[in-house]
Each structure stands twice: as C-alpha cells, then as structure tokens.
Structure 1
Amino acid sequence: MTSFADLDLADVEEVAERREELLAAVRDHAGRIAYHIARVDGGDYGQRSFSTDDGEWTVKYEAGDLEYLRFEPRGGGETYVISTQQPAEPKALAEALEDYPAFVAAYNDYVDSLAGMLDSVEASFPQVESTESVVTERDRIVEAIEACCDRMAGELRRYEGTEYGSFAARIDGTRWELKWDEDGASYLRAGGSGGVYVLSQYGPPSAADVREYAPRFGGFVDAYNDHVAELELDLETITFET
C-alpha cells in the first residue's frame, strides 16, 4: 500500500491531492468489502469488526453501501479512514493505511471461515399441510351467520325506520351487539368494545373464534326473537281512534 512517506509535506496541495487519490481507491475497495459483508449478514444496516496485530478495523454499512471504515490502533485513538465527515489528518491516515493490507487479510480469513458452514444443513422440509378444509368450513359457518344477521338487520331497520342502528343482548354474561346500516349487517361483535368480531366488513374471524362463538350465536338469535315478541306485544296495546 502506498504511503505518504515519499511526499514533500511542505507541498500541502500535493498532499491533499494524493490523499484524495488514495481515499478514492480505498473507498472503492472497502466498499466492495462492505457489500459482501451486508450480503452474508443478510441485512441492509450493520457493522463488523476485524482485528489485526496493530489494531481493530470496523466496517459499517448502510443499505449495502460503505458508511465508514474506522481504524483503532492498539495504542489508543481512532482514525476514520472513510467517513461522511472531513478526511482524516494525513499522518494518521498514512499510519492507518500501513495496516490496511492486514485488515484485508483478516476479512479474507473471515470469508474463508464461512466456507462449508451450510453444507450439513438440509434443504428438504416436511410437507406443509393445507388449511383449505378448515377455511372452507369456517367460511360456510360465517356465511350462515351473516345471512341470519342480514335478515335481523332488515327487520330491525324496517321497524326502527332508520338506516343505521344496533341491537345488543347479553348472553350467558357476554354482550353481543349487531350493528346495521343501509346495506345490511355491518358487524356482529361478542364481548363488548374489546371483543371478537364474529362478523365484520374487514374479514372473517379466526377458525378458533368461530369454534368458540358460533355455537353461542343461537342464544343471540333467541334474544332477538324475544325482543321482537315484546315489540309485538307493545304494539297490540296501542289504541288509535279517528
């Protein structure tokens, strides 16, 4: 690796130009190292350190690109050989670059250590069972509940005379609520505001929820029928004379 030892330090402009030339070469070379580290680590962001006899090098990458290359000599201190900040001071940079070949060798040793790591890992796995039959049965039950709720919603809307409303009942300690709008049943929820949406506009419930609440839906229908029966009794007591 070329150093600054052969430069006339009195010529600041020449030193600066030479430094930029070296940094461009290192940035390109270390950038390839960062790219390969990012690939093997499997992440867009991260860092990895490599030890040499003279210190420790840290490669940090972001989105697969080199963010910085830092050298920390064993005597203390640190030099950002590549960074987003201003370039390193020439003397510190020259000392760091003297150790750069050792850093590359440490990186190569790391890559060699990965060889064969996955050779014993099997790429064959057990067959994945389909949930098709469970989903089909779930959908059949939910569709039956939806048809019943749409009918109840239609009757309630006709009686209430409004396009929006709800009917709630407590069944064995659980609050059930049917809400309707102009299109029919909007949702059927069991368990209050934090409960389970047995029926909703955002997708079906889980098969486990259907298993738990579908058998109890009949109690809610009974409560609706009792409600309708009470309405009929109330209407029968009304007298109207002209």
Structure 2
Amino acid sequence: MDDGLDVETASTDELRAQREAILADVRSHAGEIARELALLEGGDYGRRSFTGDHGEWTVKYEAGRLEFLLFESKSGAETYVISTKQPPEPKALRDAMQDYDAFVEAYNDFVDTREDVLDDVDPAFPDVRSTETVVADRDRIVAAIHEVATEIAQQCYRYEGTDYGTFSTTVDGTRWELKWEEGQVSYLRVGGEGGVYLLSQYSPPSAPDVRALADDVEPFVEAFNAFVDDLEVDLGGVSFTDA
C-alpha cells in the first residue's frame, strides 16, 4: 500500500506578490498625503482621520513620514493597510482598497476647505518701535550707578583689608547689598535673595527696574557715608601715649 500523498500544495507566491505591489503603491501615495499633512499642520508628528464611503481612514505620520494608515469599516473591522508590523490579510486589504478613492477625495476636500483660510490675513504689519533710546538711557544710568558703586567697593577694599566682602544696608525698608572683590563690584542687589540685580557680571537690569530703583541709589550712598562716619567716630577715641 502506498501511503504517499500525491496532492500538489498551492503556492501563495503570486498572491503575496500582488499584495506587496499594492502596498508599495499605497505606501508611496499615502506617504505623499502624510508629508502634505505634516507641512500643513506644522508639526513633526500627528494624525488625522478622514471619512470615506465605507468607513474611516486614519493617517498617522512622524517626522513627516507615514507611520500607519488605518481603515475602520462601518462594520467595525480594523485593517492596518500600512503599518510597521505584518501586512494585512488579502481579503481585508481588498475591502479597504475599495474605499481608498473615497479616502483620497475626503483628504482633497479637507485641503480645499483650507485654501482660502488665510486670504483675509493682512501681511502689512505696523512698524516695530526701536528700543535704542530706552536702552541708551538705561545704560547711561547703570553706568553712573556702576561708577559710584565702584568707588564704594574700593573704599571697602581699603578698610576691610580683605580681597572680597559685602556692604549691606536698608533703604526704605528694602535690603541693598553690594558685593565687591579686590575693589571691583561683583553685584549690587536690591531685595535680598531673588531680588533685582542693579549691577551684576551677567545681564543688565531691565529698564523698569532701573526706573523703580534709581532714586534709591542716593540714599544707599548716604547710608554708606553714614557708615564710614561712624567708623571715624569709633576710631577717633583711640590714642597711643608713651609709657
């Protein structure tokens, strides 16, 4: 008895080749839609859905490239026509492709509704005012503050006898602190930690801050002068006599 089987096994080569050819065309065509959507939406990634005759199509893109193309039929079946995973089953692909033209028409209608959306935008904008005058005034005032603060720093450097230190006082209930290093100003800060730096080694203060604090520089200097006067009084009583 011959137990051998003489039944020829059907090949799926042709069917798979047809599927790959269809998917290659869809990947190229839908990829163009993905690129256009990315340009229109102004983002590197996103997704948008379109309603066809027999279901809904969702295009997801990333870095302007098609990530997936999903068809959800009205019956509830989902077919990832294009994805990073396995290709769709041939019958599901056939059913989806019967609605592909309607998907493209829905996409085209979507673009058409946006063609005139910017027509009423007037590109003639007002002239931009220059900050040159404000900045020049700010820099002039800050330079004057820096000059007097440097003089205070040099005086502190002389009498303290150390390479760096601080002088602090209160002006109208607000703490002012000048930090110096070898006779040069490191910063002049108003308001303690998190306060406003009228002088610093980094960026200049804003014009509104300068406007709000400039009038208090004079009482700050007067407070330093009073501090020096007190030192002179304290030292005035010190004398040396011969034994």
Same fold (TM over 0.5): yes
Distance change >3 Å, CA 181–CA 12, structure 1 → 2: farther
Distance change >3 Å, CA 90–CA 238, structure 1 → 2: farther
Corresponding residue of 1:20: 20
Q: Alignment partner of 1:187: what SS?
A: strand
CA distance, structure 1, for counterparts of residue 91 and residue 224 of structure 2: 87
User: 1:143, CA displacement in angstroms?
Assistant: 1.0
- 201-210 vs 68-77, greater mean Cα deviation: 68-77
CA distance, structure 2, for counterparts of residue 240 and residue 11 of structure 1: 118
User: 1:209, CA displacement in angstroms?
Assistant: 0.7
Corresponding residue of 1:226: 226
Corresponding residue of 2:140: 140
Corresponding residue of 1:210: 210
Corresponding residue of 2:5: none
User: 1:36, CA displacement in angstroms?
Assistant: 0.9
Corresponding residue of 2:3: none
Corresponding residue of 1:190: 190
Residue identity opposite 1:179 in structure 2 = K
Distance change >3 Å, CA 91–CA 181, structure 1 → 2: farther
CA distance, structure 1, for counterparts of residue 234 and residue 12 of structure 2: 102
Tell me if 1:100 matches 2:96: no
CA distance, structure 2, for counterparts of residue 238 and residue 25 of structure 1: 100
CA distance, structure 2, for counterparts of residue 77 and residue 222 of structure 1: 84
CA distance, structure 2, for counterparts of residue 55 and residue 182 of structure 1: 78
Corresponding residue of 1:171: 171
Query: What is the correspondence of 1:16-95 to structure 2 with a 5 Å cutoff?
Result: 16-95=16-95
User: 1:241, CA displacement in angstroms?
Assistant: 6.3
Moved over 6 A (4+): none
CA distance, structure 1, for counterparts of residue 38 and residue 202 of structure 2: 39
CA distance, structure 2, for counterparts of residue 184 and residue 26 of structure 1: 71
Unaligned runs of 5+ in 1: 1-9
Check conservation: 2:157, 2:183, Cα contact below 8 A: no
- 200-209 vs 76-85, greater mean Cα deviation: 76-85
Q: Alignment partner of 1:231: what SS?
A: helix
CA distance, structure 1, for counterparts of residue 163 and residue 126 of structure 2: 53
Distance change >3 Å, CA 160–CA 85, structure 1 → 2: farther
String of CA shifts for 1:12-55, please: whole Å, max 9, x gaps: 34433333332222111111111111111122222221111211
RMSD value over aligned CA atoms? 2.0
Query: Which is higher, the Rg of structure 1 or of structure 2?
Result: 2
CA distance, structure 1, for counterparts of residue 94 and residue 235 of structure 2: 98
Distance change >3 Å, CA 101–CA 235, structure 1 → 2: same
User: 1:107, CA displacement in angstroms?
Assistant: 0.8
Residue identity opposite 1:186 in structure 2 = S
Distance change >3 Å, CA 12–CA 236, structure 1 → 2: farther
Corresponding residue of 1:156: 156
Residue identity opposite 1:142 in structure 2 = V
String of CA shifts for 1:53-88, please: whole Å, max 9, x gaps: 211111122222222222111111422222223333
Corresponding residue of 1:3: none
Q: Alignment partner of 2:23: what SS?
A: helix
Unaligned runs of 5+ in 2: 1-9
Corresponding residue of 2:199: 199
Corresponding residue of 1:5: none
User: 1:231, CA displacement in angstroms?
Assistant: 2.0
Residue identity opposite 1:129 in structure 2 = R
Corresponding residue of 2:119: 119
Report percent identity of matched pairs. Answer: 58
Q: Alignment partner of 2:87: what SS?
A: coil
Q: Alignment partner of 2:222: what SS?
A: helix
Give the paired residue count. Answer: 234
